[in-house]
Amino acid sequence: MSTIATGFIIAIISLVTALVAGSFPLWKKISEQQNLLNWMTGLAAGILLASALLIAIPEGFELSSDEPLLLGAAILCGFLFMLILEGFGFGHDVHEEHHDHSDDHNHDHIHHLTGSSIVFGLSIHALTDGLAIGAAISSQSAILTLTLTGAVIAHKIPAAFSLGVFSLHERGDRKAALKDLLLFSLATPIAIMLSIFFLGDLEVNQLALAVLFAAGTFLYVATVDVLPDVHSPETGKQALLQVIIGAGIMLLFLLALDASGIITH
């Protein structure tokens, strides 16, 4: 299958996943679903963390012949990029914002974000997700493509779900919330196709830097998603368990691929 065909299929899967997950809370009351959302977010954080540390970073280092300092700098840049966005008020952490709205035990360090800023922050991160998948497809590494796609989809479900809740709360109008959801849902598919187009002619070393940059964003999102819950005495143990289970799921997935012979290094 060509890289364009592969990218198109993954783009469609990403689009449908985000639209379905984000549309659900727009038509169904979710006040009783907070625990489910916490579990989805915690599991996704563990999957993202394992994907970055077990696949994206090792594969990025192996793909490149550049010196380790440059490769490490690419990871750092991805992490700092998300941190800078957060610092300027374009946070991605809509899960915590929803948690803050729906429960009374607020966290003092969480500042309230506007609807526009949270949609922008989430969409920017969705673009980096597309960059990661596009770079993986362009590298023609099946394990990298499968793993990063699975991690992105796993995280997109709670992110889109939370965005639907948050946007409806902020906008007070279902049509406006749908526009926010559509913007977020389109970001990753568009970035996947653009990345394949622009990265296809790059050298492997440059593709490796793109993968490592995306790994840095994964590390940031995975930690920020769950740190507030981990630090809370009420939710700390459960949040830790969620991350461990999520990481274990990704590890078992990789071991199954290796044992089946589907993926060969």
Per-residue pLDDT of the chain (265 residues; tens, 9 = 90+): 789 999 999 999 999 999 998 888 887 766 556 777 788 888 989 999 999 999 999 999 998 888 889 999 999 999 999 899 888 877 665 554 444 444 444 444 344 455 577 788 788 888 889 999 999 999 888 888 999 999 999 989 988 888 888 888 777 788 888 998 999 999 999 999 999 998 877 888 888 999 999 999 999 988 887 887 888 888 888 889 999 999 999 999 888 888 887 665 5
Residue 249, CB half-sphere, CA atoms under 13 Å: how many?
19
Q: Which residues contact 230 (CB under 8 A, 6 or more apart)?
A: 236, 239, 240, 243
User: Alpha-carbon distance 45 to 218, whole Å?
Assistant: 9
pTM here is: 0.82
